[in-house]
Structure 1
Amino acid sequence: MRQYVRQWGVHHQGRGSFQMAQIPGITVRHSRTCASRKTGARCNCSPAYEAWVWSNRDGKKIRSTFTGKGALSAAKNWRSDSTRAVRLKKMRAPTRKTVQQAVDEFLEGAEKGEIRNRRKMAYKPSVVRQYRSALKGRFLPEFGEWRLSDVEQTDLLKFKEELMGKAIADSTIRNVFVPVQAVFRRAKKMGDIAINPAEDLELPTGETQQRQAITPAEALVLIKALPEKEQALWACAFFTGLRRGELRALQAQDVHDGYIEVLRGWDDKAGAQGPKSEAGVRRVPMTDALKTFLDPYLERTTSTRTGSLSNAKRKGEDLLFGRTWREPFTPHHIADTADEAWKTAKLERVTLQEARHSYRTWLDHAGISETRADRYTGHAVGGVRGRYTHLLEAQLAEDAKRLDEYLSGVAEGKVIALEARAPGTTLSGAREAQTGA
Structure 2
Amino acid sequence: MANSKGKRRRFGAVRKLPSGRFQARYQGPDGLTRSAPETFASQTDADRWLVRKEAEIIDGKWKNPDDKVLFGVYADAWFKERDYAATTRERNGSALRLHILPTFADLALSEITTPQIRRWRAVLLESGVGEPTVAKAYQMLRAILNTAVDDEVIQRNPCRIKGAGAAKTAERPFLEVTEVFQIADAVPARFRVLILLAAFTGLRFGELAALQRHDIDLDRRTVAVRRALAETRTDGIVVKTPKSAAGVRTVAFPASLAESLATHLAVYVKPGRDGLLFTGARGGLLRRNNFRRLWLQALKTTGLGDVHFHDLRHTGNTLAATGGATTRELMQRMGHSSVRAALIYQHLVNGRDHAIAAHVDEQIRKVRPAESGDDPSGT
| Match of residue 188 from structure 1 | 149
How far apart, CA to CA, are the structure 1 residues paired with 2:133 and 2:103? 16
CA shift in 2, pair 1:236/1:62, >3 Å: farther
Instruction: Please point out which of 248, 267, 270 is paired with 1:300.
Output: 267
| Match of residue 280 from structure 1 | 247
Report how far residue 66 of structure 1 moved. Answer: 11
- Given residue 261 of structure 1, which amino acid in structure 2 is its aligned partner? A
Instruction: Please point out which of 298, 312, 331 is paired with 2:288.
Output: 331
Aligned pairs for 1:138-287 (under 5 A) are 138-198=99-159, 202-203=163-164, 205-257=166-218, 258=220, 259-268=222-231, 269=235, 271-287=238-254
Instruction: Note if 1:97 corresponds to 2:69.
Output: yes
How far apart, CA to CA, are the structure 1 residues paired with 2:186 and 2:225? 27
Instruction: Note if 1:371 corresponds to 2:328.
Output: yes
How far apart, CA to CA, are the structure 2 residues paired with 1:300 and 1:137? 47
User: Gaps spanning 5+ residues in structure 1: where?
Assistant: 9-19, 38-48, 111-121, 304-311, 410-418, 421-437
Report how far residue 363 of structure 1 moved. Answer: 0.8
| Match of residue 81 from structure 2 | 109
- How many matched pairs? 359
Report how far residue 228 of structure 1 moved. Answer: 1.0
Counterpart contact for 1:62–1:92, Cα < 8 Å: no
Q: Secondary structure at the match of 1:392?
A: coil
| Match of residue 318 from structure 1 | 275
Report how far residue 385 of structure 1 moved. Answer: 10
Report how far residue 234 of structure 1 moved. Answer: 0.6
CA shift in 2, pair 1:201/1:78, >3 Å: farther
Counterpart contact for 1:26–1:75, Cα < 8 Å: no
| Match of residue 86 from structure 1 | 60
CA shift in 2, pair 1:345/1:174, >3 Å: closer
CA shift in 2, pair 1:188/1:349, >3 Å: closer
Report how far residue 235 of structure 1 moved. Answer: 0.9
User: Gaps spanning 5+ residues in structure 2: where?
Assistant: 369-379
How far apart, CA to CA, are the structure 2 residues paired with 1:318 and 1:178? 41
- Given residue 263 of structure 2, which amino acid in structure 1 is its aligned partner? P
Cα deviation per residue 1:220-257 (whole Å; 9 max; x = unaligned)? 23212322111011111011101122122222222123
How far apart, CA to CA, are the structure 1 residues paired with 2:193 and 2:251? 16
Q: Secondary structure at the match of 1:86?
A: coil
Q: Which has the higher contact order (CA 8 A, sep 6+)?
A: 2
Instruction: Note if 1:400 corresponds to 2:372.
Output: no
How far apart, CA to CA, are the structure 1 residues paired with 2:125 and 2:158? 19
Larger helix share, 1 or 2: 2
- Given residue 187 of structure 2, which amino acid in structure 1 is its aligned partner? L
Query: How many percent of aligned residue pairs carry the same amino acid?
Result: 20
- Given residue 372 of structure 1, which amino acid in structure 2 is its aligned partner? E
How far apart, CA to CA, are the structure 2 residues paired with 1:319 and 1:60? 70
Counterpart contact for 2:14–2:47, Cα < 8 Å: no
How far apart, CA to CA, are the structure 1 residues paired with 2:309 and 2:47? 55
- Given residue 137 of structure 1, which amino acid in structure 2 is its aligned partner? L
TM-score, normalising length: structure 1 = 0.68
- Given residue 298 of structure 1, which amino acid in structure 2 is its aligned partner? L
- Given residue 74 of structure 2, which amino acid in structure 1 is its aligned partner? A
Q: Secondary structure at the match of 1:267?
A: strand
How far apart, CA to CA, are the structure 2 residues paired with 1:73 and 1:254? 71
CA shift in 2, pair 1:101/1:293, >3 Å: same
- Given residue 204 of structure 2, which amino acid in structure 1 is its aligned partner? R
The 10-residue stretch of structure 1 (379-388 or 167-176) with the greater mean CA deviation from structure 2: 379-388
How far apart, CA to CA, are the structure 2 residues paired with 1:331 and 1:388? 29
